Structure 1
Amino acid sequence: MQSADDEVQGRLLDHLIELRARLLRAVVGLLLVFVCLLPFANRLYGWLAQPLLDKLPKGGQLIAIEVASPFFAPLKLAFFVALVGAMPWLLYQLWAFVAPGLYRREKKLAMPLLASALVLFYIGCAFAYFIVLPAVFTFLNKVTPSGVAMMTDINAYLDFVLVIFLAFGASFELPVALVILVLLGWVTPAQLREWRGYAIVGIFVIAAVITPPDVVSQLLLAIPMMLLYEAGIFAARFVAPRNSGEPADAGDG
């Protein structure tokens, strides 16, 4: 007869085997997307550089200071795009691993939260590319001293843009974070409304820290985050535990 310790060890071994299989599938899926994007790496970089090139004076261009940077910069970008593009597959593997251990209510809430987080991250990256980068480069071009030519290294530009993407993508997750805090019972929608003033101050501090040192990008991050904070309060009302003392359809006063 199998002992309790043997049964526990068997379950642990099964979980480890399942985890290895899910990680292997996630890595293989990511590598497949990356390999498919490799032939288009230079085209992707040209697309990424367009917001800056559109704002440079006539004849302006990016430069490559390091010898190998024309090869490694597009390669790095292709991997980042592959990672973002494969994110649904990676999240599915994570979900398939943890879902069997969740209760029905947790499963019912987890899927919308994962989907919302993914969509909000994509929206944040799109907002950064189509709105923030053109505005930032317009501002930087106007404040460039006379006689100074803007000639940015392709590696430096890539790092700058990726930081912008990650900052805005992560910041747009604010509503999901608030909903999770309410689900855990750490805060209530009423408390989030009471703390609105402190949240606005914190948002501007965060925007000043994670964005480039210009007013344009800070405002372009802070204003959407304030709207997303209100959206998080609105969404949290519908998932607040019943013992929180606030009905789901309470007004947002």
Structure 2
Amino acid sequence: MKRLQLSIYYIQELNYRLAYAALGTTLIFFTTYTYKQGLIFLLLPQGLSHFVSIGLTEIFFTYIQLCITLSISFGIFLIASQSYIFLRPGMYAYESSTFLSLLTSAFCFYIYIYILIFPALIKISWELFLTYSQNFTPINLTFEPRLNNYLDHIQQLNKILIFSFPCLLTLNLFQKYTNKQLWVKHRGIAYVIAFFIAAFITPPDIISQILVGAPLIFFFEIQIILWTFYKRYKKQLLVRQPIKPHKNTLGDKK
């Protein structure tokens, strides 16, 4: 009977936690929908001042798609935090600290990424592809961007940033139980896995797969380089470590 009461209590608490996460995600959705035009204005690069719409409902569903993406992105943190609060009483101290440090590092990582890296990626990609759209000499072309296509491009960049932290976390986990020679020897397998992940999370076109797979390979190579520098730094610390003087046993006796 006592086990049944505890089970009912834990199920009710889990339902409350999920309800809090769902309510928070819903509030984020309505908040982003209220300020949808301001959010799109923040995502615009310099030089882009108008869009073209070819469908009656295109703008509405584009706003809905943007708000759903943002609400789900923030809702994942709410679900993770509520899961931590629910599981914390049954965790050991080191498990609780590890989970909390992961949540904190992920939150700080994504805040840094979306404040500094994401606007720079938007600016670089816009300037790169805009030159190809304007410098077309055989015929006269007028570049008229669509809002839906532009936000699809933003979402592809967002996928790269979202999966960057799990990829770095996975690489650090593999680094703990493997060595650098194994990574260098099986580098080709890592490239294949990177493009397999890109093909799984992107539309079936080669450009989207390259945009997602190439940063994963870049993270892999950067991890190897950082690993090499860390090993060299660790060896230098061992070499520079001062030698402890032996105790004078005669002086101790005195």
CA 84–218 in structure 1, closer or farther in 2 if over 3 Å, else same: closer
Report the counterpart of residue 29 of structure 1 in structure 2: 24
Structure 1 residue 96: deviation in Å? 0.8
Q: Does 2:9 match 1:14?
A: yes
Report the counterpart of residue 95 of structure 1 in structure 2: 84
Report the counterpart of residue 242 of structure 1 in structure 2: none
Q: 1:76-123 CA distances to partner (integer Å, 9 max, x unpaired)?
A: 323333343455433221211222222111112111112212332343
CA 251–202 in structure 1, closer or farther in 2 if over 3 Å, else same: farther
> 1:99 is aligned with what amino acid?
R
Report the counterpart of residue 240 of structure 1 in structure 2: none
Q: 1:39-88 CA distances to partner (integer Å, 9 max, x unpaired)?
A: 2111111222x12xx356xxx73211221222232233233333434554
The alignment's TM-score, normalised by the length of structure 1, stands at 0.69
Q: Does 2:156 match 1:163?
A: yes
Q: SS state of the match for residue 163, structure 2?
A: helix
Q: Does 2:61 match 1:72?
A: yes
> 1:175 is aligned with what amino acid?
L
Aligned length: 224
Which 5+ residue runs of structure 1 have no aligned equivalent? Answer: 238-245
Report the counterpart of residue 153 of structure 1 in structure 2: 146
Q: 1:216-242 CA distances to partner (integer Å, 9 max, x unpaired)?
A: 9579835862476259859xx9xxxxx
Q: 1:195-231 CA distances to partner (integer Å, 9 max, x unpaired)?
A: 14645873597377569729x9579835862476259
CA 35–135 in structure 1, closer or farther in 2 if over 3 Å, else same: same
Percent identity, please.
Answer: 16
CA 40–10 in structure 1, closer or farther in 2 if over 3 Å, else same: same
Instruction: Identify the structure with the greater helix proportion.
Output: 2
Q: 1:184-203 CA distances to partner (integer Å, 9 max, x unpaired)?
A: xxx52x52564146458735
Structure 2: how far apart are the matches of 1:218 and 1:20? 36
Structure 1 residue 22: deviation in Å? 0.4
Q: Which has the larger radius of gyration?
A: 2
CA 204–43 in structure 1, closer or farther in 2 if over 3 Å, else same: farther
Which 5+ residue runs of structure 2 have no aligned equivalent? Answer: 238-254
Instruction: Decide whether the 8 Å contact of 1:73 with 1:154 is kept in 2.
Output: yes
Report the counterpart of residue 191 of structure 1 in structure 2: 179
Q: Does 2:207 match 1:213?
A: yes
Q: Does 2:223 match 1:229?
A: yes
Structure 1 residue 11: deviation in Å? 3.5
> 2:125 is aligned with what amino acid?
V
From 146, 168, 178, the equivalent of 2:171 is 178
Report the counterpart of residue 241 of structure 2 in structure 1: none
Structure 1: how far apart are the matches of 2:11 and 2:141? 58
Instruction: Decide whether the 8 Å contact of 1:30 with 1:82 is kept in 2.
Output: yes
RMSD of aligned alpha carbons: 3.9
Q: 1:109-160 CA distances to partner (integer Å, 9 max, x unpaired)?
A: 1111122123323434445532222222222122233433332321222122
The alignment's TM-score, normalised by the length of structure 2, stands at 0.69
